[in-house]
Amino acid sequence: MILTVTLNTALDITYRVPGLRPHASHRVTEVTERPGGKGLNVARVLAALGHPVTVTGFAGGSTGATVRASLAGVPGVVDALAPVAGATRRTVAVVDERTGDTTQLNEPGPVVAPAEWNAFQEAYEGLLAGAAAVALCGSLPPGVPVGAYAGLVRTARAAGVPVLLDTSGEPLRRGVAARPDLIKPNADELAELTGSHEPLRATQAARRRGARSVVASLGAAGLLAETPEGRWRAAPPAQVRGNPTGAGDSAVAGLLSGLVEHLPWPDRLARAVALSAATVLSPVAGEFDRAAYEELLGRGVAVTAEADAA
């Protein structure tokens, strides 16, 4: 199985409105709720691709109970979330139907006590025993040490389990130093980590800081990969418009599934780009349009080798 870790799980709520205007009341045309947080989004996509997945992290309060109840209905996903006294956060995405733009509101999450963090680490070590790979995803809730992901990376490496890290800021900086197998920052996160706004130089700098491989998400321009086996850019055959919520998480699922299937890097990147674009085209945040995914793969995601930075 594949293990995904979402320390700051959420209940994702999506509102659709005819047009979003500041300082105005809005009539909501549609509301959807679903378990959220980056690792849970990754898990749903992996399960849809046929990979058994176990999810862990924290869940608490009535919102946490709603998240767990919803997860119970997702085929292929096993719930191993750890209880926490605080309430799981909510995130609200407001989709403007006129423009297709999305406005996101994210709560900080529950305060995690030291005893809860210690219990989680013990449970995590036990879950690694049955994992083919692990993804560490998203923000840290209050109370969790800023170096938490670095410790979880080291635990996975000690267990011989490949680890993907997808976070930002100081948790990413410290996590990279623990030498994860793969990181997947976006352009802003990569620039913050390395100080370089030139993507190719920045991905190379991130590898020097400790990551074995780096796949940078460049938005509509697709992905840039810097790996021991080579460097590639991958982009969809045409620009897509829609709701980008969860698109990066779908890319992570594509990369992780390709890793455990031992696919060559160009195939992993093509899958990740097709899943990401198909997520943008989905009417529900964080879902992917399977027909669009298969069509995008069939039309051929452009994957090209990249030369060294000058």
Q: Which residues are catalytic?
A: 249
Distance between CA atoms of residues 310 and 306, nearest Å: 12
Contact in structure between 167 and 136 (CB atoms under 8 Å): yes
Angle between helices 169-177 and 187-194 (to 10 degrees): 60
Q: How far is CA 98 from CA 16, 17, 24, in A?
A: 10, 8, 16
Helix (H, G, I), strand (E, B) or coil at 15: strand
Cα-Cα-Cα-Cα dihedral sign, residues 42, 44, 50, 51: positive
- List, as one string, the DSSP characters of 191-258: HHHHS--SHHHHHHHHHHTT-SEEEEE-GGG-EEEEETTEEEEEE-SS---S--TTHHHHHHHHHHHH
- Strand 53-59 to 2-6 pairing: parallel
Distance between CA atoms of residues 35 and 55, nearest Å: 11
Instruction: Find, among 94, 181, 100, 176, the residue nearest to 134 by Cα.
Output: 181
Instruction: Find, among 13, 15, 73, 74, the residue nearest to 42 by Cα.
Output: 74
